[in-house]
Every structure is written in C-alpha cells, then in structure tokens.
Amino acid sequence: MKFPWPGRRQPPPETFRVLLVCMGNICRSPMAEGVLRQRLAVRQLALPVEVDSAGTHGYHEGAPPDPRAQSAALRRGVDISKLRARRVDEVDFIRFDLVLAMDEENRKALLEAAAEEYHGKIRLMLEYAPERIPRSIPDPYYGGQTGFERVLDMVEESMAGLLDELERLSTEKARHLAGHNPSPP
C-alpha cells in the first residue's frame, strides 16, 4: 500500500477525523480535544471519530499542555496530561474531515495555509454554540486560572452542537463509503 505522505500511515477511510486548532497547542485546543474525547466516549456515532489537536505556530512543539490547562481540565474529569503540542502540517488538511479553529486569527492562518479545496473543512469551534457571540475563544495563556475555566465553559457550550454535527457528518461519510464499497454478497 502506498501512503500519500512519507513516514505516516494512511488512516482508515472508515474513520471520521476532527482536528482542533489554537495558536501554540498547549491551552485551548488540547482542552477541547480532551472534552471532545470524553463526550465521544459516551456517544455512539456511525463511524469511529479520531480527534487530535495542533497549533498554527510551533512555539511549544513536543510540550505538554500548560499546567493551568491541565488542572482546569482535570477539575472537570478530563485528563490531558499525555497530550503533546504539535504544529499543523499541510497533510492535516487532507487527513482531517473537519478542522476547528479556536478563534478568527487561527482560522485565517489555517485558510492561508490550506489549498482552497480544503477551505470548507475549516470552521470556528464556537459555530456549534449558536447563542454565543463573539465566535472566538480567547487565549488564556497570559491570564490567570479563571481564563482557563472560561475557555472550558465555552468549549463545553459548543459540545452538543458539535456532537450533533459529527453524528450527521459521520453518517453521511458512512453512507458514502457503503455506496462505494458495497459488501460482498
């Protein structure tokens, strides 16, 4: 089997993939990754969902999430201590079905980095919390612990809408795969 990029195994097509993105991948996106993983563990979707997070900048590559992010998440029963920061890679736009930015600045950076054919995959996380305006989750890095709690509140507000959308999209992808890969008689 030939892989589309060197050094990485191609993920199975019967998986739906979501990438959560902030600037450095040590605060907002790992917290969102942890919460989404927790929620997916109790909700069955048409396809398995792979969740990852990354940053638009490589400031902290290989580092664990900020200790304040870890403690805020852990207070809500979400352990993100094993996650490690990485930078968004151009193959992420091919590999992932949905790329969710935490704020408008990172969404713009993603749109600039991605080929136009992938722009439809790039959205804001808070689009799934329609009552929340503005749509950007603020970076808590330079603030205190309260900022991390606020970020988690915003992430949690978006979860019901995001899970509904993932259910819809994974069902569509499963139907598409079934149509192109009919099971043998």
Is 22 a residue of the active site?
yes
| Share in percent of the chain as helix, strand, coil (round to 5) | 45, 10, 45
41: three-class secondary structure by DSSP: coil
Q: Where is 55: in which H helix or E strand? A: strand 49-55
**Nearest residue to 132 via CA among 160, 164, 163:** 160
Is 27 a residue of the active site?
no
Q: Which residue out of 17, 28, 68, 107 is catalytically annotated?
A: 28
Is 150 a residue of the active site?
no
Q: Which residue out of 22, 37, 92, 123 is catalytically annotated?
A: 22
Give the integer Cα–Cα distance in Å for 164 and 138: 24
**Nearest residue to 164 via CA among 129, 118, 138, 137:** 129
Between helix 67-75 and helix 145-180 the angle, nearest 10°, is 80
Cβ–Cβ under 8 Å, residues 151 and 25: no
Q: Which residue out of 52, 97, 103, 139 is catalytically annotated?
A: 139
Where in the sequence numbering do the catalytic residues fall? 22, 28, 139
